[in-house]
């Protein structure tokens, strides 16, 4: 599962925590999510990475999809 969206500390974080609790391989788009401030955004990304959620950029996610097609 690849997650993007707004309000990293709310919708994005909740979706990511739910996904990982169901043992889904979970990635959050670090440059495809946002929060009210850069500091809040970065703190939430760190928290998610610390529990095993993969952080990826939009470009990295596009590369993963391209590899799946081949």
The 10s digit of each residue's pLDDT in 51-66 is 999 999 999 999 988 9
Compute how many other C-beta atoms are within 10 angstroms of the C-beta atom of residue 11. Answer: 13
CATH of 2-69, one of 3.40.50.300, 3.40.50.850, 3.40.50.11540, 2.60.120.260: 3.40.50.850
Give me the residue spans of the domains in the chain: 2-69
pTM assigned to the model: 0.89
Residue 35: pLDDT above 90?
Answer: yes
Query: DSSP code of 51?
Result: T
Closest CA to 31 of 11, 2, 68: 2
């Amino acid at each position: 599962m690849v997650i993007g969206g707004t309000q990293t500390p709310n919708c994005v974080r909740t979706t990511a925590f739910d996904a990982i609790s169901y043992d889904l391989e979970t990635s959050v788009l670090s440059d495809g999510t946002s929060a009210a401030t850069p500091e809040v955004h970065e703190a939430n990304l760190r928290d998610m990475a610390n529990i095993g959620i993969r952080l990826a950029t939009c470009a990295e996610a596009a590369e993963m999809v391209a590899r799946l097609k081949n």
